[in-house]
Amino acid sequence: MNGCATPSRSPEPTATAAGAGDSQVRAMLADVSPQRAKAVVESLVSFGTRHTLSDTESDTRGIGAARRWILAEFEKISMLSGRSGAEAMKVYFDEHTYGPDRRRVPVETQIVNVVAELPGSMPAARDRRYYVIGHYDSRASEALDAQSDAPGANDDASGVAVVMELARVMSQRRYDSTIVFMATAGEEQGLLGARLHATKAREAGSDIRAVLSNDIVGDPKGPSGNVYDRQIRVFSEALPRTLEATQLAQIRRLGMENDSPSRQLARYVAETARQFGLTVQPMLVNRTDRFLRGGDHTSFNEAGFPAVRFTIVEENYDRQHQDVREERGVRYGDLPEFVDAEYLAGVTRVNGAALACLANAPSAPANARIVTANLGNDTLLRWDAAPEPDVAGYEVVWRLTTEHEWTQSRDAGTATEMNLSLNKDNYFFGVLAYDHEGYRSPVTFCTDAPQ
Ligand SMILES: [Zn+2]
C-alpha cells in the first residue's frame, strides 16, 4: 500500500475552494424566485392546450399563442438584461417544417422551438455551448387530440419554467461560454423539436458540451403519499449511440462503460449541487430514461452530444397525458395546483449551479491518458493544456473501479502530467481544469496511450 491517497474530496472541492466564482454563483442562485417560476407554469396552462397540432392563429389558446408568449418573455428578459452589441441575447424561433409522418404528425406541421442565447464573454470559450431545455408542448389522453384541454403543468410547463427563470437571473451576469435557453416543441409527438435542432447543430459542427433537459420537475409528491422534495432524478446514458466499433472496443478493454461524457456530466451536476449545499440534490440514475417513456435529452444524445434528464422521483400517472376529469373520486389531469413553487425553484437552482460553473470553467482537458509504455505499479498521467487564457491549473481525480463518483484528488498545479504511486490496474483516473476564480471543468476520463 502506498501513502498517496488523499482524503475524500466531498463535500468541498480540494484545489480551489471558495474562489470568487463561488460567491458569484451563490448570488445568482439567490435571485431564483419560486413565485416567478410558478407564474410561468400558470401562464402556460392558461393557453388551454399546447398540443403541437393545436391552433396557431388564436392569441389566447393553442400552441401558437403559447410560443409567442414565451418569445415575448425572452425579449423582455433580453431588454432588462442591459446587454448590447455582441453580448446581447439572441431571441428567436427555431422553425422546422415537418411531416406528415406515420406516427403522431398526420399533416405537415411547423415545429417551432423558442430560443434565447446568452453569448459568452470570452473569445476562447464563446463557441462552447451549454443548453438548458424544457418542452412547452402538451397532450391530453389521446396523442392526436389537439382540441381538449391539456394543461401540461408538470409535463412540461415546469421544465419551461426552469428555462425561463434561469434566462432571467443568468442574463444579468457574464459567462465565458454561451448558454442557450430553449423551450422545445413536438416532444409529445416524438421528441421532434429537440431532434430537429440537435441534427441541425451536428451538421453545423456546433460545439454543444452539455444539455440539461428538464421534463416533469414540479411535483415532489408521489402517489404513494411520499414527498421527495429534496431530490431530483438525473438520468444519463452509458454508451453513446454514435460510437464506432473501435471506440466500443476501447470501452470494453478499459472498463469505461460507466464513464460516458453524459455520465461525467451527471456526476458534475451532483458535485455542484453538493458544493453549493442546495436543498434539492440529484439522485443519479444510470439509465437513459424511465421505462416506456422518452425525452428530449435522447435526441441530443443521438446526435452525439452529452445530455441528461431531470425528473421528479415518483411520478403520478393519473396526472400525465390525461384528460382533465374526475372518475370515481379520482382526479385526473396535469394541473398547476400540483406544482410546488419552492421545489420547482430548488430544481432550477440545481440546473443554475451546474450551468454557471460549466459556462465559466475552462474546457475539460483533452487527450487525458494513462501512459502505458511499460509495465509498472505506478501511474503516469498526461493531458493537453486547456485553451482558455484564465486556466489556473489541473486536478487529477481517481476512484476504485467499483465506486461510482470520484472520491480522491490531487492538485497538479499548472503541470500537464502527474506520477502517482498507485497501481493503474486498480483505479479509474480523470483530469479536470480550473480557473483563477475557482470554476472547475467536468472530468475527462483517462484512456491509455504509449506516451
Ligand atoms: Zn414531458
pLDDT tens-digit series, residues 357-379: 999 999 999 999 999 988 888 99
Question: What distance in angstroms lies between residue 433's CA and the mean position of ligand 1's atoms?
Answer: 35
Question: What distance in angstroms lies between residue 19's CA and the mean position of ligand 1's atoms?
Answer: 37
pLDDT score, position 10: 43
pLDDT score, position 373: 86
Instruction: Please check the confidence at residue 5 and state whether its pLDDT lies above 80.
Output: no
Instruction: Please check the confidence at residue 164 and state whether its pLDDT lies above 50.
Output: yes
Q: How far apart are CA 422 and CA 406, in angstroms?
A: 15
Q: Give the whole-number percent of the chain exceeding pLDDT 90.
A: 92
pLDDT score, position 13: 43
Return the H-helix or E-strand segment holding 420.
strand 417-420
Q: Give the closest residue to 233 by CA, choosing from 261, 205, 212, 207.
A: 212
Instruction: Please check the confidence at residue 80 and state whether its pLDDT lies above 90.
Output: yes
**What angle do the packed helices 20-30 and 341-360 form, to 10 degrees?**
150
Domains along the chain? 20-360 (3.40.630.10), 369-449 (2.60.40.10)
Question: What distance in angstroms lies between residue 239's CA and the mean position of ligand 1's atoms?
Answer: 23
Question: What distance in angstroms lies between residue 200's CA and the mean position of ligand 1's atoms?
Answer: 22
Residue 335 exposure: Cα atoms within 13 Å on the Cβ side: 10
Mean pLDDT of 393-400: 98
pLDDT score, position 226: 95
Question: What distance in angstroms lies between residue 180's CA and the mean position of ligand 1's atoms?
Answer: 19
Mean pLDDT of 283-302: 95
Q: Give the closest residue to 266 by CA, choosing from 164, 378, 404.
A: 404
Query: CA angle, 54 as apex, 50 and 59 as ends, to 5°?
Result: 75
pLDDT score, position 18: 52
Residues 6+ apart with CB under 8 A from 53: 105, 106, 107, 109, 144, 146, 189
Q: What is the pTM of this model?
A: 0.95
Q: What is the mean pLDDT of the chain?
A: 94
Q: Rg of the chain's alpha carbons, rounded to an integer?
A: 22
**CB burial class (10 A; 0-12, 13-18, 19+) of residue 411?**
middle
The Cα diameter of the chain in Å comes to 72
Question: What distance in angstroms lies between residue 205's CA and the mean position of ligand 1's atoms?
Answer: 28
C-alpha cell at 437: 476564480
Instruction: Please check the confidence at residue 150 and state whether its pLDDT lies above 70.
Output: yes
pLDDT score, position 1: 33
Q: Are strands 379-382 and 417-420 parallel, antiparallel or unpaired?
A: antiparallel
pLDDT score, position 376: 86
Q: What is the pLDDT of residues 85-122, one digit of tens each?
A: 999 999 999 999 999 999 999 999 999 999 999 999 99
